[in-house]
Structure 1
Amino acid sequence: MQSEIVLLHGWGMNKQVWQLSVEALQQAQALPVRAVNLPGFGGAAFPEHISTLDEVADDIAAQLGNGSVLVGWSLGGLVALNLAHRYPEKVAKLVLVASNPFFVEQPDWPGIKPKVLAGFKQALADDSAKTIERFLAIQAMGSEHARDDIKQLRQLLSLLPAPHPKALSLGLDALQGCDYRAYLGALRQPVFGFFGRLDTLIPSDVIERMATLNPQFKAFTFPRASHAPFISHKDEFVTHLKSIL
């Protein structure tokens, strides 16, 4: 039984990025809908004991009832995968948005080049605000509405406090180090993926690899979207999400 839809944001972001989707989903279907902040983002507390993505997932799990439809964007998708694997009773269905189980390029896995992520780590130490701004631009790169997408994301982010520095650092460490391919392969819940064909962070080749890991995996690609299809193509995104509930 599906109890509610819970949306998890990506790195450097906060729950406000989902606001337009939340409003549309509330009108389009009957399940309760809410977005939550990951620890240290959007003014959420960052408890001192949190140092791994397991502990981030534990924090979110404490906020969930059983049978949630979990929608995770980018880094939020890693958190959602962790939750679905370690707290299966809490996740009835999993939707990965511009996300995958392992973000780093390997000889047998398409992904982000390690030096790019290492560069972000260094830039974060130098100037976190500028690094987040740069990340906003990368997320919209390729979108037919790139400038508008960035403006909208920036406006939504500004509604809540800036991220905690330790949360930003932990998030980048997770993108560099978390390999949840085995988690994806072992999932028993229905799992879906929504992707943007123009996404520069998630290579299109990874979609087929994910389906190989989990034959249940069903993917949809927005042909003109980049890394944030729920911003650039909100109506289509909501329509497709509603169709799999």
Structure 2
Amino acid sequence: MSGIHHEIYGRGKPLVMIHGWAMHTGIWREFAKQLAEHCQVICLDLPGHGRSVSLESFDLEAIGTALLDAIPVNRFNLLGWSLGATLAVDMAARFPERVKSLLLLAGNPKFINSADWPGLKADVLDGFAAQLSGDARLTLQRFLGLQVQGLADNKLLLQTLRLAVRECDAPAIDALQGGLDILKHSDLRKALASLDCPITAMLGDKDTLIPVQAGFALQALNPRVELHILKNAGHVPFLSHSQQLCNIIAAAL
């Protein structure tokens, strides 16, 4: 047994979905069921998240290996959201024989902003890390708020996020801290540039965590990237733009 919780919906071409920081499969279960009209959807809980067991070391290599061992098909399309996108790029680069295509949802191979890359300011993640030891619950609530900040229906989306997150206990502090460390220190631009598989990137033009400019930077890294900018979408387009997103993913498969 891998200890990695997974849920499977539908039949057809397999699409593996990896969620973001501090979340679990329940966050997009309804969207997964919607997608299951077009393909077989396999949702995974990250180690130490949701119903999955923890790992001794919460790093890219260990997480990717644990997830791959839990996927019940040999070859699949891989979708990662936010932190899940970082993991997905790493998995596609290390195991190209298993990843048929890569779909990045509100994700970035380099999460942190630098002079040569559009990303999130490092002090935002540092603030989350500092708050975790003091009040993890408040930190998670703040993070949920950032995901819908500036959207017209942010109150309804935030309520939906909170209800979904409460389905499972919050991840352990070491898993949360490990996820922030991955986001802060990972630079997978070379890995993404080297990929030969089809790549689809989907970004919201109002995302406060992933600048829309990152999409054009992705295309400059790898000409295989097919970019979709979702108008008036933030960091959780599977909640706010589910049908549009479903259509894009179905076409990519």
1:62 partner SS:
helix
Structure 1 segment 92-241 matched on structure 2, within 5 A: 92-241=100-249
The separation in 2 between residues aligned to 1:216 and 1:73, in whole angstroms, is 19
1:106 partner SS:
coil
Q: Is 1:16 the equivalent of 2:26?
A: yes
The separation in 2 between residues aligned to 1:8 and 1:138, in whole angstroms, is 20
Paired amino acid for 1:112: L
Name the stretch that deviates more: 16-25 or 154-163. Answer: 154-163
| C-alpha RMSD over aligned residues | 1.2
The separation in 2 between residues aligned to 1:51 and 1:155, in whole angstroms, is 26
Q: Is 1:74 the equivalent of 2:82?
A: yes
The separation in 2 between residues aligned to 1:54 and 1:75, in whole angstroms, is 14
Q: Which runs of 4+ in 1 moved over 3 A?
A: none
Structure 2: unaligned runs, 5 residues or longer: 1-11
Whether the 8 Å CA contact 1:144–1:225 is kept in 2: the answer is: no
Deviation string 1:140-159 (CA, Å, 9 cap, x unpaired) is 11222211111111111122
Counterpart in the other structure of 1:34: 42
Counterpart in the other structure of 2:91: 83
Counterpart in the other structure of 1:53: 60
Q: Percent identity?
A: 34
Whether the 8 Å CA contact 1:3–1:67 is kept in 2: the answer is: no
Deviation at 1:3, TM superposition (A): 4.4
Counterpart in the other structure of 2:8: none
Whether the 8 Å CA contact 1:92–1:189 is kept in 2: the answer is: yes
Whether the 8 Å CA contact 1:61–1:87 is kept in 2: the answer is: no
The separation in 1 between residues aligned to 2:158 and 2:151, in whole angstroms, is 10
Whether the 8 Å CA contact 1:7–1:18 is kept in 2: the answer is: no
Paired amino acid for 1:22: A
TM-score normalised to the size of structure 2?
A: 0.92
Whether the 8 Å CA contact 1:26–1:32 is kept in 2: the answer is: yes
1:133 partner SS:
helix
Whether the 8 Å CA contact 1:200–1:226 is kept in 2: the answer is: yes
The separation in 2 between residues aligned to 1:34 and 1:18, in whole angstroms, is 12
TM-score normalised to the size of structure 1?
A: 0.95
The separation in 1 between residues aligned to 2:139 and 2:52, in whole angstroms, is 20
The separation in 2 between residues aligned to 1:224 and 1:144, in whole angstroms, is 8
The separation in 2 between residues aligned to 1:203 and 1:191, in whole angstroms, is 18
Structure 1: unaligned runs, 5 residues or longer: none
